[in-house]
């Protein structure tokens, strides 16, 4: 957004220690406003103060396993939080365009393969259920109040900025540490589940394209290819010339009460209408992430 000369505002929750690490390169170029998805007044005030043209809601409790430990809180953030933003838009800035980060986790136990915009939802976690709510409330505000509100159904999108608890980053971070002899093994859960893995910066372009149209419409964004966690691990270890089988151990702690076994996108509508297509495949993605972690691990002593 900065390279497109937007004035960028971010909403953040105050914490006692700074957690701007992932935005340290741009924190001086954006304006941060305090707000919280649980606090209606803070959202209405932020939108009233900023008067934004475009609003991207990428905020959520987004880690699937935590949604079983904190299902109610996940619903508050990931489901009702969307309604709070939409209410704020309806009251103080109805002309703003709104993007909601929907998720392939809404397809869950997929009813059709590959999944497109018309595939029925069958979520398999409190997180997936909350995202379905966020999706439908967005559609409803569009149809009830004529707000330009759209939802991007994004399949897994990864980058070196991914949190360490998510599978791809956990793997790439461990690969770098094993290569540098800082770690010996990597404990994972289910290696057989398949995901449509893409590179996050390309997916952000799709979000932006969705808001540049004159007609609001929801899109599925993914690569159209699927690979197991095991295949991703194989690709990541191969970047540094190691055989994944020698380092990975299965730990039941990382298994989920219900799993999403197989997801793959049909992104043809995004291709046809937005002119969007992914450029980075899962092998290249693994390479980008492993190289970034190698650099970070070489610099850090821990």
Active-site residues: which are they? Answer: 103, 105, 127
CA distance 26 to 28: 5
Contacting residue, 137, 229, 265, 288, with ligand GDR by CB under 6 A = 229
Using CB under 6 A as the binding rule, whether residue 189 contacts ligand GDR is answered as yes
Binding to ligand GDR, residues 192-211 (CB under 6 A): 193, 195
Three-state SS at 20:
coil
Nearest Cα neighbor of 219 from 232, 209, 233 is 209
CA distance 100 to 54: 11
Three-state SS at 191:
coil
Q: Cβ closer to ligand GDR: 156 or 226?
A: 156
Q: Cβ closer to ligand GDR: 96 or 203?
A: 203
Binding to ligand GDR, residues 4-43 (CB under 6 A): none
* Calculated CA dihedral for residues 191, 195, 196, 202, nearest 10 degrees: -80
What the block records as the tokens of 65 is: 């396993």
Binding to ligand GDR, residues 135-174 (CB under 6 A): 155-156, 165-168, 170
DSSP labels, 179-207: HTTS---EEES-S--EE--EEHHHHHHHH
Determine the interface stretch with ligand GDR among 68-76, 100-108, 144-152, 173-181 (rule: CB under 6 A).
100-108
Minimum Å gap between C-beta 107 and ligand GDR is: 10
Binding mask 257-276 for ligand GDR (x = CB under 6 A): --x-----------------
Minimum Å gap between C-beta 66 and ligand GDR is: 10
In 52-104, the DSSP E strands lie at 54-57, 97-103
Using CB under 6 A as the binding rule, whether residue 64 contacts ligand GDR is answered as yes
CA distance 234 to 250: 15
Binding site for ligand GDR (CB under 6 A): 62, 64, 103-105, 155-156, 165-168, 170, 188-190, 193, 195, 229, 254, 256, 259
């Amino acid at each position: 957004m900065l390279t497109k000369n937007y004035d960028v505002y971010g909403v953040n929750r105050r914490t006692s220690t700074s957690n701007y690490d992932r935005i340290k390169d741009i924190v001086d170029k954006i304006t941060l406003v305090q707000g919280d998805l649980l606090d209606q007044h803070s959202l209405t005030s932020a939108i009233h103060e900023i008067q934004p043209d475009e609003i991207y809601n990428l905020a959520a409790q987004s880690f699937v396993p935590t949604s079983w430990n904190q299902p109610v809180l996940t619903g508050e953030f990931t489901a009702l939080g969307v309604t709070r933003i939409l209410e704020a838009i309806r009251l103080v800035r109805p002309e703003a365009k709104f993007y909601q980060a929907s998720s392939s986790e809404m397809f869950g136990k997929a009813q059709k393969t590959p999944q497109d915009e018309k595939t029925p939802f069958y979520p398999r976690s409190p997180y997936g259920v909350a995202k379905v709510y966020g999706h439908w409330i967005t559609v409803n505000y569009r149809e009830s109040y004529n707000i330009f509100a759209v939802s991007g159904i994004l399949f897994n999108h990864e980058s070196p900025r991914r949190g360490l608890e998510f599978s791809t980053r956990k793997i790439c971070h461990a690969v770098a540490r094993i290569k540098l002899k800082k770690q010996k093994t990597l404990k994972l859960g289910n290696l057989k589940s398949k995901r449509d893995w893409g590179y996050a910066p390309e997916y952000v372009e799709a979000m932006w394209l969705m808001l540049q149209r004159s007609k609001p419409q929801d899109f599925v964004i993914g690569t159209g290819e699927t690979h197991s966690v095991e295949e991703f691990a194989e690709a990541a270890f191969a970047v540094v010339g190691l055989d994944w089988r020698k380092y990975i151990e299965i730990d039941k702690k990382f298994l989920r009460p219900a799993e999403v076994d197989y997801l793959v996108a049909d992104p043809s509508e995004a291709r046809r209408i937005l002119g969007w297509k992914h450029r980075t495949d899962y092998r290249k993605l693994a390479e980008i992430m492993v190289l970034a972690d190698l650099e970070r691990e070489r610099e850090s002593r821990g």
